[in-house]
Amino acid sequence: MEIALGGIIILVILLPGISFRKGFFSEEFSTQYTIKDFFSLFVNTLFPSLIIYLLALPIIYFVGYCYDSEVLLGILSSNDELVKQSINNIDKFKYEIIGFQFVINVISFVLGLRLKNIILKHSLDAKHKFFRYKNIGHYLLTGKFILFKRSQIDLKKDRVKDIDITFVNAAVQAGENVFIYTGIFS
């Protein structure tokens, strides 16, 4: 039982980071949300979760629950009496804890979505490699590749959002036949 309970606790701890990543890697970047390596996924969700939990500590006190790390450690303990006592302490505040978890996960998702929108609006992803997404098609079709530092194209008067037309050459398969489509992407 301790292994299953410990797994649930770890999942609850990671949920805000998972929600944040889901918001940050949404829409055309949704394929970047999933990571095949468990350790990378764990690290990439743990740090946002811990930051969000630290920022949310005042909300815990507002709800009326006094955060007690001994309860969390008691659940993960191998001492059956300590586990039972910790579960009883959690049971007293179960609705507050569930409400808090719901609110913090919604806030985490919205924060991830807002951060993504700010980065895209100000083209920080194209200007700084640290913010860059792995969806190269996005940069090609929107013309943002021009903002890359290594780009050989320079827009002296215009901006990327002033680009009106994107020409596309694409191999398209229709049944067993393959055609090359040349046209305008809109």
Every domain of the chain and the residues it spans: 2-121, 136-185
Structure tokens at 177: 């036949």
| pLDDT tens track, the chain, 186 positions | 466 777 787 888 889 998 988 888 876 665 655 666 777 777 778 888 989 888 888 877 776 666 666 776 777 666 777 778 777 877 887 887 788 889 889 999 999 999 888 987 877 777 777 776 676 666 666 666 566 666 656 666 555 565 666 667 778 888 898 888 787 766
Helix axis angle for 94-121 and 38-63, nearest 10°, is 120
Q: What is the CA radius of gyration of the chain?
A: 23
| Angstrom distances, CA of residue 167 to CA of 29, 75, 143, 144, 181 | 22, 59, 11, 14, 10
pTM over 0.75: no
CA–CA gap between residue 186 and residue 158 (Å, rounded): 19
